[in-house]
Amino acid sequence: MNPDVIVIGGGAAGLMCALIAGQRGRRVTVLDHANRVGKKILMSGGGRCNFTNLGTTPDNYLSANPHFAKSALARYTPHDFIALVEKHGIAYHEKERGQLFCDVSSKLIVRMLLDECAQAGVDIRTSCTIEDVQRDGDGFALRTTHGPMACASLVIASGGLSIPSMGASGFGYDLARRFGHAVLPTRAGLVPLTLSGKHLDRYSDLSGVAVPEVEARSARKAFRAGLLFTHRGISGPSILQVSSYWQPGETVHIDFLPDTDASAWLGAQREAHPDRELKTLLSEALPKRLAQRLCELEFGQRPLRQYAVAALDDIGRRLKAWPIVASGSEGYRTAEVTLGGVDTDGLSSKTMASRHVPGLYFIGEVVDVTGWLGGYNFQWAWASGHAAGLAV
Ligand SMILES: Cc1cc2nc3c(=O)[nH]c(=O)nc-3n(C[C@H](O)[C@H](O)[C@H](O)COP(=O)(O)OP(=O)(O)OC[C@H]3O[C@@H](n4cnc5c(N)ncnc54)[C@H](O)[C@@H]3O)c2cc1C
């Protein structure tokens, strides 16, 4: 017998949608081309899944329509997901800034979703390739490697393009276009930035050096968190966050001393310790190799008394807005998310239903809603999946 609902993609959004629809008594089948569902959940948060963020607000998302996510996020909050996690006895902790992680393993989140799906009678089929989707009367006809199928409601939860080795595909975007939806340009988000030429030469041998807290600024947004130099460029949470706002060729400015008036600090140190070398002083506030490199590159390596007050003032200002010219990003191979996607103009913010094709829904990362680093992307997957699950 054909199901009422077919969900294409058994990731975070698809499984949530399936279990909610199943609980309403809908007959639901989930199809996934991968050999198991929830692969990104398994690899997320370093294997411990940062499954939500207590501080989630619509402001934590990028979208051409910043209002679109409001309704779904308001109707399925982090506390709703926490209640589910607690119902399944999964231990968790807050790491920092509202980020909730499993104590033991992200496998428990996948297990929880699969148990809920099983209880709701959801049929999950893996290693299933969808070869064709056609409109068929009021519903849809699918040709798949598991045979022909039909349904009244079709939910596209096939995710974005990041980490192709984990089953990511452009399926959802192609299908959206075919059914008359606009798809906004996609690009890698939450991704390390790469440097090239002389810009890379300045830092490449700092690979592995980490600064616990900087403020990284792009033209549109600033984030305070850690920075890591890599052999190809810069990474760490502050850079991943800023990467989603960064445009190719744009300079990222780093405040290496976000809690310090650096010019005043340097001036006071000159008074107190005139014979100290600038490099030694900076090593108190920054990793030694970085302090040394900044001095080699621009500041010089002299005792403080040999710097004029105005020169130290200038060095202080540059430490608070150090320019790094990034040429590109590591791309979808390592990106945590895909920016852009199915234009929200064509969707109902309440149900995720297509405005063009009755019975068609888009949820999760395939939609042009992208969260910051810190559990926001899963919260969008749960919330949008829940919204569609109540409507299909
Ligand atoms: C390394 C990494 C770590 C992350 N860590 C976190 C974190 O800790 N917290 C957080 O909030 N977010 C995290 N994210 C982001 C988060 O994983 C995604 O935003 C989220 O999984 C999106 O959910 P989704 O259901 O829309 O898509 P996905 O979870 O990607 O699921 C899509 C599903 O569709 C299937 N599929 C794709 N194409 C087809 C097709 N053609 N036919 C059939 N099936 C198909 C895929 O196999 C997959 O199972 C991380 C991402 C990565 C890559």
For the stretch 234-283, pLDDT in tens is: 999 999 999 999 998 899 999 999 999 999 999 999 999 999 999 999 99
Classify residue 239 by burial, with Cβ atoms within 10 Å: 0-12, 13-18, 19+: buried
Is the pLDDT at 176 greater than 90? The verdict is yes
Is the pLDDT at 165 greater than 90? The verdict is no
Residue nearest to atom 10 of ligand 1 (CA): 375
Q: Which pLDDT value is given to residue 261?
A: 97
Asked if residue 4 has its Cβ within 6 Å of ligand 1, the reply is no
Per CATH, the number for 5-188+337-389 is 3.50.50.60
Answer for the pair 324, 251: CB distance below 8 angstroms, yes or no. Answer: yes
Asked if residue 337 has its Cβ within 6 Å of ligand 1, the reply is yes
Least Cα distance to 213 among 180, 265, 260 occurs for 260
Is the pLDDT at 182 greater than 90? The verdict is yes
Asked if residue 171 has its Cβ within 6 Å of ligand 1, the reply is yes
Asked if residue 14 has its Cβ within 6 Å of ligand 1, the reply is yes
Residue nearest to atom 35 of ligand 1 (CA): 9
Supply 196's token pair.
């090239």
Residue nearest to atom 29 of ligand 1 (CA): 11
Q: Which pLDDT value is given to residue 96?
A: 85
Asked if residue 52 has its Cβ within 6 Å of ligand 1, the reply is no
Helix, strand and coil in the chain, % to nearest 5: 40, 25, 35
Count how many Cα atoms sit within 13 Å of the Cα of residue 366 in the half-sphere of its side chain.
Answer: 31
Q: Which pLDDT value is given to residue 292?
A: 96
Looking at this protein, which amino acid is placed at residue 354? S
Mean predicted confidence (pLDDT) in 58-83: 98
- Read off the pLDDT of residues 297-332 as tens digits, 9 standing for 90 and up: 999 999 999 999 999 999 999 999 999 999 999 999
Residue nearest to atom 6 of ligand 1 (CA): 44
Is the pLDDT at 166 greater than 90? The verdict is no
Q: Which pLDDT value is given to residue 97?
A: 85
Q: Which pLDDT value is given to residue 38?
A: 97
From CA 58, how far away is CA 197, in angstroms rounded?
A: 39
Atom of ligand 1 nearest to the CA of 365: 26
Query: Which of 7, 37, 42, 44 should be mutated for ligand 1, with most atoms under 8 A from CB?
Result: 44
pTM: 0.97
Mean confidence (pLDDT) of the chain: 97
Atom of ligand 1 nearest to the CA of 129: 42
> Where exactly are the structural domains of the chain?
5-188+337-389, 193-329
Mean predicted confidence (pLDDT) in 163-169: 85
Give per-residue burial for 10-48: e unless 16+ CB within 10 Å, then b. bbbbbbbbbbbbbbeebbbbbbbbbeebbbbbbebbeeb
- Read off the pLDDT of residues 326-384 as tens digits, 9 standing for 90 and up: 999 999 999 999 999 999 999 999 999 999 999 999 999 999 999 999 999 999 999 99
Residue with tokens 């040394």: 292
Percent pLDDT > 70 in the chain is 100
CATH 2.40.30.10 fits 193-329, yes or no: yes
* 226 sits in which H/E element: strand 222-229
Asked if residue 109 has its Cβ within 6 Å of ligand 1, the reply is no
Residue nearest to atom 19 of ligand 1 (CA): 377
